[in-house]
Structure 1
Amino acid sequence: MTHLDHRKPSDRRSRNHHRSPRPGRPNRSRSAIGAAVVAGAAMAAAFAFILTNGASDPADDAGLRSGRDTATSTAPPSTDPAPSVNTSKADRKPPAAKPTPPPPNTGAESPAFRTGQFIAVLDSYPTDAGMAADQLAKNLAAKLIAAGVPAKAMLASGQYPGLSTSDHNPMSDIWLVYLGPTKSVETALDLCASPKTQNVHRNVACPTYEPAAP
């Protein structure tokens, strides 16, 4: 027997129209997978951060801090005395200064000559020329002596008749630097013209005298 639906067609359409479709299972699956991926990425990032920056055990940190605090607190105060000045060096006497060698012997101020003795005069310094004539003469004689030249300095005060000026008057008030005495004029000239003498004090004239000549 055929079963007949006595409901009104409009009621069936209305019922079918208000029936909600089934929820989409595929949409829920995709959402769940996306959430899982995001969560996995977050965990991976967290692990990477820990591995990169490192993680220390709180217990180890506490031990290290405790050790440092203990070392700091138990270190005894320094008992070293204040540094003292090294008196051994301060008490040392300075090395003794080397003795100054005596000045060269430039001869007597008024030497004695005999007849037949000759000298060659290198230079002269008048006492009335406003200069320390004696020091100039003695300094030049000392330089010549240091160079190996037998030079001397003397003061002529008119006591030597053979030491005369161009007008035949005895030299007076003048310091002379001379070589000799020698036994001949030639020997006196050779001493004056020698390279050793001329290197110290050049004088091509080299006048010679016989101081004790009458």
Structure 2
Amino acid sequence: MPEVIFPGPEGRLEGRYHPHKGKRDAPIAIILHPHPQFGGTMNNRVVYNLHYKFHNMGFNVLRFNFRGVGRSQGEYDQGIGELSDAASALDYLQSLNQNAKHCWVAGFSFGAWIGMQLLMRRPEITGFISVSPPANMYDFSFLAPCPASGLMINGLGDRVAPPQDTVTLVNKLHEQKGITITHQEVEGAGHFFENDHMDTLTNSVEEYVQRRLTENTR
């Protein structure tokens, strides 16, 4: 998988880009990693597995390191700068895939929070995956209204982002019209979907995304 360096708001950003050769209209997906100050990188196990799951479904996929992580330049910026990094990454991905018919964003933990903010800024995003959204730590009230349908998935054994906070967030989003928020809870899974729970996570994502893609092509 080729390493890529592309321009961000505070200098270069480091990523991994995984295209399908010869597919000019392949859908695209961007994968966002967890909190930079708590060891989050683009090589996080959840991010890595989501990346490959999207690629196996036919997407051209980009994951990258937020500013100050790995070889990405800059310093942690409380989520404000990281949102700008994500927008730059999406710009870069779109520049390589100008014929893509579908655009998805997937984020894990802190990355889920950034991904939902990106969703609000970019109307071309057609679907989202939020894994272990930290609704107890960050304000998601900006989702008013949420502009696209998506999947929120969390573990019932999550001690970092308690499941009840995710339920409260999903219930608020369910009140909005025109979108459908699918919520799945994985029995026994913690915040990081350790052990066999990773397969449950990625299989759930695949089932959801494939269904959405089939619906959009009818």
TM-score by length of 2: 0.26
Highest RCO, 1 vs 2 (Cα 8 Å, sep ≥ 6): 1
Q: Which has the higher helix share?
A: 1
TM-score w.r.t. the length of structure 1 is 0.26
Structure with greater strand percent: 2
Greater radius of gyration (CA): 1
